[in-house]
Structure 1
Amino acid sequence: MSKYSQLDSIRLLATLPHPCGYLEDRDATTVFVDPEVPVDQVLYSRLSELGFRRSGSYLYRPQCASCNACIPSRVPVERFAPNRNQRRCWRRNRDLDVIHQTEIDTDEQYALYARYIEERHADGEMYPPSREQFRSFLNNPWGTTRYLEFRLEGRLVATTVTDVLCGGVSAIYTFYDPDEDRRSLGSYSILYQIEWARRLGLPSVYLGYWIEACQKMAYKNQFQPLEILENHRWSQKAD
């Protein structure tokens, strides 16, 4: 266990204000854990409880001077009730095989990732994709990450990057074949992680930040009940 697992003496660094990636005409400031701090599963889990997320090996949290739109969210596994569309999505993807991996640095995985970024996020910060970006963004050195491969008759159609925490799993990123839209693979990956967390006996699936005014984040509100972190307390989001 890291000596920092009690959250003592953790140094936080802050970025300069920069254009917000979610809301137009707003600046954002991000705080992140000093990269020199040794991280283990316990520390990572405790920071997730406080609303931190990870990108690569960086643990970060928005801390903007005049905006608090980024609200941490998670699904309480035992109370989750799939709606009609989610039940259909689950049935629609019953023909997929799911394989759990501990690493994905392969040409097959990168090709799917690059195609997804090029066709779905050409206007985003991750365009253009690169192999180095692929490695640094999705991986971390703490031994908590699992990669869920979704395959149709052997063909890779989607990959979900997820971290196993002490109190849940954290949905980091999903990329998929753009030609498989009808499957709603992004939603299916969350449904799968909820069921997986249930099998592991873990109480929550962390979905990252919910932003009411950002249409890209609207899908998170479909997973009910949804818990959000406000005023240092997790509670069920009001409809």
Structure 2
Amino acid sequence: MRHTLPLAPQFYVTAPQPCPYLPDRVERKLFTALQGDSAEPLNDTLSRQGFRRSQNVLYRPACADCTACLSARIRVADFTASRSQKRTLRRNRDLQRHSSTPWATEEQFSLFRRYLDSRHADGGMADMDIFEFAAMIEETPVRSRVVEYTRTAGTHGRVLEAVCLTDVLDDGLSLVYSFYNPDAARASLGTYIILDHIRIAQEAGLPYVYLGYWVPGSPKMGYKAGFSALDIYKRGHWIGLGDPNGHEQETHPLSVDPIAEQVAQISLPDLRAVRL
């Protein structure tokens, strides 16, 4: 007997955990599995509704008393680099980009460990070993690329400076996770990765670059508000960011819909057509 996966994805909620962005708060996530032929259309559709991918799971914050995490994306056609961003582009003009299928290497892991130890030593990824790192990079059921940035460093040849795991959606590029040389603070490599992905999207004719979550009041996420043409996903719609200080009310508990109502409002692709 042949067993098939259910047509409608099943949604679940994680147990509460300490919030990594705002003090004295807890987070929980609404998530569903990515699997089979439906993975790509589901990833495309739910990414447009504020979801993010981690390996074979799509998730979106669903905290009990806070909706501060707002999915953010850049409108590529409307983007204009600021003066500081133009300096970042000039400062890194010697970087070379190489894109490949998702495959983890020891060189990537070494850079990843340096980045975590310097920037996120107390974060949720701090204890990741090389096998978990490989799973993060390689376990993807959708169209993904590893984008590496290298530069010449004297007698050392080309040295890996930055890496970004990127999903290719039907309407844009989604930066799943990036890391870079923590000793090159002046190079602003995190900003450069985003700027270069805007350039890639322009060349590919894709309208958006998805940046993950922007969180008002969180210093960790404040840099995203520095990009022009930034949209946020708020109350079921994409809107222009406007004044970043105008979204503080999203931490009010009355702004949260019940989980059942959140799931009922999710639009799904027609997965029946995918299975024909």
**Is the shorter-chain TM-score for this pair beyond 0.5, marking a shared fold?**
yes
Q: What do the CA deviations read for 1:37-65 (whole angstroms, capped 9, x no partner)?
A: 76422210101001100122211001112
* 1:192 and 2:181 are equivalent in the alignment: no
- Judging changes above 3 Å, is the alpha-carbon distance between structure 1 residues 40 and 150 closer, same or farther for their aligned structure 2 residues? same
Structure (1 or 2) with the greater helix fraction: 2
Matched, 1:206 2:213: no
1:124 match: 123
Give unmatched runs, 5+ long, in structure 1.
Answer: none
8 A contact 1:118–1:129 mirrored in 2: no
Separation in structure 2 between the aligned mates of residue 146 and residue 231 of structure 1, nearest angstrom: 31
Structure 2 unmatched runs, 5+:
153-157, 244-276
1:30 aligned onto 2:29: yes
Q: Does 1:183 align with 2:182?
A: no
SS of aligned partner of 2:183: helix
Task: Report matched runs for 1:147-166 at 5 Å.
Answer: 147-153=146-152, 154-166=158-170
Tell me which structure has the larger Cα radius of gyration: 2
Q: Distance in 2 between matches of 1:212 and 1:221?
A: 9
Aligned length: 235
- SS of match in other structure, 1:74: strand
Q: Which residue of 1 aligns with 2:240?
A: 236
Q: Any residues of structure 2 matched to 1:83-122 within 5 Å, and which?
A: 83-122=82-121
Please say if residues 117 and 129 of structure 1, whose CA atoms lie closer than 8 Å, have aligned partners that are also in contact.
no
Whether the 8 Å contact between 1:112 and 1:176 is mirrored in structure 2 is yes
TM-score (normalizing by structure 2): 0.81
Report the RMSD for the aligned CA atoms in angstroms: 1.9
Paired residues of 1:57 and 1:136 also in contact (CA < 8 A): no
Of all paired residues, the percent bearing the same amino acid is 40
1:59-111 Cα offsets, whole Å, 9 max, x none, are: 10011121000011100000001100000000111011111111332111111
Q: In the alignment, which residue of structure 2 is the partner of 1:42?
A: 41
For residues 192 and 34 of structure 1, the distance between their equivalents in structure 2, rounded to whole angstroms, comes to: 30
Partner SS, residue 184 of structure 2: helix
Question: CA contact under 8 A between 2:98 and 2:147: conserved in structure 1?
Answer: yes
Deviation at 1:35, TM superposition (A): 5.6
Higher relative contact order (CA 8 A, sep 6+): 2
Greater Cα offset, 174-183 or 140-149: 140-149
Q: Is it true that 1:172 corresponds to 2:176 in the alignment?
A: yes
| 1:224 aligned residue (198, 223, 228) | 228
Over 3 Å counting, the alpha-carbon distance change for 1:210 and 1:23 in structure 2 is: same
CA distance in structure 1 between the partners assigned to 2:62 and 2:109 by the alignment: 32
Q: TM-score normalised to the size of structure 1?
A: 0.93
Q: For 1:190 and 1:64, how far apart are their aligned partners in 2? A: 28
Q: Which residue of structure 1 lines up, in the alignment, with residue 73 of structure 2?
A: 74
- Tell me the distance in 2 between the aligned counterparts of 1:201 and 1:42: 19
Q: Contact (CA 8 Å) 1:57, 1:139: kept in 2 or not?
A: no
